Structures are given as structure tokens and as C-alpha cells.
Amino acid sequence: MSKGLVFINQLQLNYTSDMEKAMRGSHGVGYAMYCQKHDVRMKVEKKRQAEYMQSQRMLANFERKLHS
């Protein structure tokens, strides 16, 4: 390790070229950047969480309309 450098939680992920394309298309970054940069990873994960929450609200709304 180089003097004065500290590496924290570097992810070791196996991914395919299709996964790389999807990551770039959805988030504008590749897996290498996602793995290396904590701030990029956090931005991607916050976006994923927001999209998940939105989908859950849409599903609940749909189910509520379906059963009323």
C-alpha cells in the first residue's frame, strides 16, 4: 500500500457487458467507477431507493383502486 493512502470497502463485483450497458444507461457510470467511488455508489443507491419507493407507492395505489 502506498504511503498515506487508505482504501475502504472496495467492492469486488463480477459483471457482464450487458450489466455494464444497463448501469451506464440508467446511471451514467460504469461498474468500475461505481466500485471505486463511494460518492458515486451512494448517488446510484439513493436513486435506486427512490425508484423502488415510487414503484411501491404506484403498486399500492393500483391495488387500492383494484379492490375498491
In a domain, 43, yes or no: yes
Question: DSSP class of residue 51?
Answer: H
pLDDT score at 19: 87
First to last CA, the chain: 62
Asked if the structure places residue 26 within a domain, the reply is yes
Predicted confidence at residue 31, as pLDDT, reads 87
The backbone torsions φ and ψ at residue 34, rounded to the nearest 5 degrees and listed phi first, read: -60, -40
List the domain range (segments joined by +) for residue 47: 17-66
When pLDDT is cut at 50, 70 and 90, the band that residue 68 belongs to is: confident
Question: How many domains are there within the chain?
Answer: 1
CB atoms within 10 A of CB 34: 20
**What pLDDT does 23 receive?**
92
| Cα gap 54→2, rounded to integer Å | 44
Q: What is the pLDDT of residues 3-60, one digit of tens each?
A: 666 555 566 667 788 888 999 999 999 988 998 999 999 999 999 999 999 999 999 9
**Is 37 contained in some domain?**
yes
- C-alpha cell of residue 57: 407507492
